[in-house]
Amino acid sequence: MTTAEIREEIIDILENIAPDEDLGGLKDDVSFREQLSLDSMDFLDIVMELRKRWRVQVPEEDYQNLRSMTSTVTYLEPKMRDLKRA
């Protein structure tokens, strides 16, 4: 997957988890929690969706890598480079 495809996938996941949020102005370097009304359960939903859709495992100690769009894409790029949707 390309960087743009990973970003689109993250936005799709966020749209499903927080359908009332306006993601059009999402800033890449600002944490999701600062921009969106996400709680810890929503964050776990993001992790679960990555596992369900792409079979990507994110260990708990790596959760801090999923704070913003930039950090999430950077973390996921090597894991998703050669993946096809589950």
Tens-level pLDDT at each residue, the chain (86 residues):
889 999 999 999 999 999 999 999 999 999 999 999 899 999 999 999 999 999 999 999 999 999 999 999 999 999 887 766 55
| Helix residue ranges per DSSP H, the chain | 3-17, 32-35, 40-54, 69-80
Averaged pLDDT score across all residues of the chain: 92
Longest Cα–Cα distance of the chain, Å, equals 32
Spell out a b/e string for 6-44, using b for 16 or more CB atoms within 10 Å of the CB, else e: bbebbeebbeebbeeeeeeebeeeeebeebbebeeeebe
pTM of the model: 0.88
Domain extents for the chain? 3-80
The CATH number of the structural domain formed by 3-80 is 1.10.1200.10
